[in-house]
A and B are shown apart, each in its own frame.
Chain A
Amino acid sequence: MYIRGIYVPQFVALLFWVVVWEIVGQFELLMLFPPFSEVVVAIGDVVTSPSFVDAAALTAYCYLAGLFLAVVVGISLGLLMGLVPAADKLLNMWINIFLSAPLSALVPVIMILFGMGQPTVIVTVFMFAVWIIALDARAGVQHVSTSLKEMALSFGASRTQRLKIILLSALPEILAGIRLGVIRGVKGVVIGQLLVSIIGVGALFSLYSQNFLMGHFWALILILFAFALSLAELIGRLEQRVEYYAGARH
């Protein structure tokens, strides 16, 4: 952005909000926000505590496991729906229902079925991420150009070769789905642990709120946000590298 011809980089906007936050905190304008400096100090405190290291490990493990399941199941579901019309007609409705459903309401069910531990969190991550991955993979498969499929047929490609062509040309959509799944998965891993509340960051949140540690609470939230944003950024970069050949298609 240019102000009177002088280039102002984007991080200035973030700096502005940090300053606003600090002011709001210092003068106690909003109870929700302790001074930003206090939060920054608390970050050091939180990161070095052993319970945080445990929580981080658990969160990472549950997140990756759930996401891995979601990617595998989601892409398979999407392929199935994209290639078999009957499967599409049967499943499409449910995928759309789960996409717009308040999934948090399902966590209590997951809790009683899978117990108050890691499996529940893994399943929650899975439930949050899988539907959008399936839907985008389906769209990708359905948008593979007919002439490309006919080309493969006319040059005598085998079944597996044709499937490979379909998968590769659906890759941009599949990756877009995974990116959204990655973001939704982070929400899943947080909501799962919040509701289970006796493990991982859920336990930390309860600890901090029981002891009125506002700074620590915000520190943990900022760490989670940073984690989510860097993941989204990372997968966005990956996506751009795939887009160079997708550009020829659109």
Chain B
Amino acid sequence: MNAIAQAEPSATVAGSAPATPIVRTRGIHKVYGGTVHALKDINLEFKRGELTSLLGPSGCGKTTLLKIIAGLLEPTEGEVEVNGKPVTGPGPERAFVFQDFALMPWATVLRNAAFGLELQGVNRSEREERARHYVNEVGLSGFEDKYPHELSGGMRQRVGLARALAVDADVLLMDEPFSAVDEQTRRKFQEDLIHLRERENKTFILVTHSIEEAVYLSDRIVLLSPRPGRVGQVIDPEIERKGDPDAIRRAPEYLDLTDEIWRGLREYVE
């Protein structure tokens, strides 16, 4: 069964993985313009090698929280720690995947994928070789010399993913990465992400508003409630993800949990 724990400061849930936390947030508050309370007292731990989803209705501050972890926004109060060190800004151990892809329209797929390395000053042949590897990894080989406008939305997001993988960060922060992608592409992308996790030993933090997506992909789901954004529940779905990815969508645990989360979130929508 699924272990469901009420939110409490640094909730550690007895799970199967003996993982240690790699990202930790302590008492995060975010207030916009002195009046809008976007986040309130967020205490979370993200374990190494796990995929955690931040799930909630729009306006619950989940993207704000992700950007605070990324170091792109500063919290009004509180602190983020990565590998035990407090975050003061973006760092090499974290890589961000953007909702709107954030690709440079004037650059090819290869240059876009290599851009993180380019900013680090890696020389051209090396960064292109590494970018080529990850472009291949995300299933875009043969498209290296195309420009973003020649690609579909799903393919563009794969470029964004390749760029984040290429810098070899420990933590991948994904901001609604599949929201601008059509349903079929989205499913394929989710399956590929499960495969990718088997090959790459990374920690993922994923923002999503899709219950199905969160249950399908996550080792842990953090439910955020809106206005002000607070941690509502932390859920550890125990779903077997080895084998056929399609089977997950038929598993009773998957269906039950989706239903249960929906019943919990319903009150915020009405």
Asked whether the complex places CB atoms of A and B closer than 8 A, the reply is: no
Binding site for A on B (CB under 8 A): none
Binding site for B on A (CB under 8 A): none
